[in-house]
Structure 1
Amino acid sequence: MSLETVLPQAVQPETEEMILARQRKAVGRRRRNTWLLRLAIVVAWLGSWELAATLWIDPFFYSKPSRIWDRLAGWFTTGTDFGSIWYQLWVTVEEAVFGFVLGALAGVVLGVLLGRSQYLADVLAPFIKAANAVPRIVLASLFVIWFGLGLASKVATVVVLVFFAVFFNAFTGAREVDRNLIDNARILGAGRLQVLRAIVLPSATSWILSSLHTAFGFALIGAVVGEYAGSKAGIGFLIANSQGTFDSAGIYAAMIIITVVALVAEWGIGHLENRLLRWRPSMSRTTDTAVV
């Protein structure tokens, strides 16, 4: 074959389909390698823990992965000493969801309101800062005294934790709205409610949604802390009982269950955020393209 026939084939430009296919392949390879590395880290961590608990440290205090697995398997097959593990999980999730919804709504409403009213923000600022400085564990104990061992005391604890996480983001989002947009809308005859609905809330949406990721984690923490302070059921109740019986495997098992619930909730909130903010440029796609 002559050089003239080989050279043109070698310098032929790539088509758009070829470039996109190569980028998708590179992104898929990077994602696969990321998950493999994560899996390797988990395996190395659990393996070293199992080995250390077998040879050097006392598994009575530190437990070991095999005992934690046995405890989880027992809970999900035969149940706990206080009933089905699914019931215990439902109690905690119910408390977290109710408190999350109430706390998020209160945080958004008050955050946007104070973000648009400098006078109210100045008046209420010291009270909000003082309330945020109160230790949550103290409030959880007080709520148990006030509202009893049932649902109400746990929801109150969750509301307190979630409210401040959402409030400060909503407040900042309302303050960061472009002033020129508001001025132009008012020149065109828009009222306060129209400006709030058409400009302020859409602009603050990304701030509010980003706070929900952290807020639901706080909701689960609040539910568990409330149950730990005093309850009749729930994952926090199982943790408190495991502590009282020196069952370290039970404590770790309950922690793993809460972690899985938090990861599932994080995925759901992220999916909701992507649907509500489709107008926003996708940073992940931009990053993937830049990496490729």
Structure 2
Amino acid sequence: MKPLPLYGLRLLLLGTFLGTWGLLARNAELAFFIGHPWQVLERLWNWLATGSGVLEVQWQGQNLVVMHFPGTLYPHLLVTLAETLIALLIGVVTGLLAGFCLGLMPAVAHLLSPFIKAANAIPRVVLAPLFLMWFGLGMPSKIALAVSLVFFAVFFNVYQGVREVSPALLANVRLLGASRWQLVRLVYLPSAAGWVFSSLNMVTGLALAGVVVGEYLGASRGIGYLILQAEATFDVNAVMAGIVVLTFCALCLDAVFARIERRLQAWRNLDP
């Protein structure tokens, strides 16, 4: 299918969805639960263009950075994005290292297997109160909750990628005289990296979800905090506006990581 007809069909589907939503919202009782698309857009515009917001970065009671914004949304959006990106970085790096090391050490992996499965079986939401008590209401507690989601997703993907390297490929590389380090660099690392990038779409959503849940349970900044305030006043349009913002952020992050993955894939294809 050509790009232009495809984009046209997508716009048609979006228009149909918004039109159906608008028709259903003409019923006042139903609109109380689902909101109205125009009122959601109006709320987004108010967040972006009216009022003012201040973002303060503190360390040991001292203001390190104070930023002023023309709209009330930007400080909350920056906090949520910062928490998501930091959690992604920490979760991906630690999950990659742990999965890679245990993939190369099957005896240690077998020893730790029941403990890893037990830790992965814990619902992450129940950890949120602990993180709030340990790290407070600031960014660290939200980052910790998101890292707990990202880590295991990356860990199991990398571990599986290392363990599924073809034995025939390893035997051929060893016959060519490759050292242990060359095996790691030329065989194991590319396999693990492929699994990591194939899971980035999933872990990005997990990181964002973990951050928002943490903000929802206890925070003074962030999109989750805005949604919690809207819920407290039964403002369904503000809740929908927060969901739209989160969806847009997730799509932008997904597009960025997809572009990085294509660049790295092209580089790998050119590698002799």
- TM-score, shorter chain, exceeding 0.5: yes
Q: Percent identity?
A: 43
Structure 1 residue 79, shift from structure 2 partner? 4.1
| Pairing 1:168-247 to 2, within 5 Å after superposition | 168-247=156-235
* CA distance in 2 between partners of 1:42 and 1:242 (Å): 25
The one-letter code sitting in structure 2 at the alignment partner of 1:158 is A
Partner deviation per Cα, 1:43-96 (whole Å, 9 max, x = no partner): 111111111111364322221111101110100011489872111000000100
Change (3 A) 1:176 1:118: same
Larger Rg: 1
**C-alpha contact (below 8 Å) 1:177/1:204 kept by paired residues:** no
1:34 aligns to what?
6
2:58 is the alignment partner of 1:86: no
**C-alpha contact (below 8 Å) 2:146/2:208 kept by paired residues:** yes
**C-alpha contact (below 8 Å) 2:98/2:155 kept by paired residues:** yes
SS of the residue 2:212 aligns to = helix
The one-letter code sitting in structure 1 at the alignment partner of 2:140 is A
SS of the residue 2:25 aligns to = helix
* Structure number having the greater strand percentage: 2
TM-score by length of 1: 0.82
**C-alpha contact (below 8 Å) 2:53/2:73 kept by paired residues:** no
1:108 aligns to what?
96
* CA distance in 2 between partners of 1:255 and 1:145 (Å): 27
SS of the residue 1:233 aligns to = coil
2:59 aligns to what?
none
Change (3 A) 1:138 1:80: farther
Structure 1 runs not aligned, ≥5 long:
1-26, 282-292
1:62 aligns to what?
34
1:141 aligns to what?
129
The one-letter code sitting in structure 1 at the alignment partner of 2:31 is P
TM-score by length of 2: 0.88
2:35 is the alignment partner of 1:47: no
Structure 1 residue 164, shift from structure 2 partner? 1.3
The one-letter code sitting in structure 2 at the alignment partner of 1:180 is A
**C-alpha contact (below 8 Å) 1:79/1:85 kept by paired residues:** no
The one-letter code sitting in structure 1 at the alignment partner of 2:40 is I
Structure 2 runs not aligned, ≥5 long:
55-70
Runs (4 or more) in structure 1 with deviation over 6 Å come to 80-83
SS of the residue 1:278 aligns to = helix
Aligned length: 253
* CA distance in 2 between partners of 1:80 and 1:250 (Å): 17
SS of the residue 1:58 aligns to = helix
2:67 aligns to what?
none
* CA distance in 2 between partners of 1:79 and 1:208 (Å): 41
**C-alpha contact (below 8 Å) 1:242/1:250 kept by paired residues:** yes
**C-alpha contact (below 8 Å) 1:108/1:166 kept by paired residues:** yes
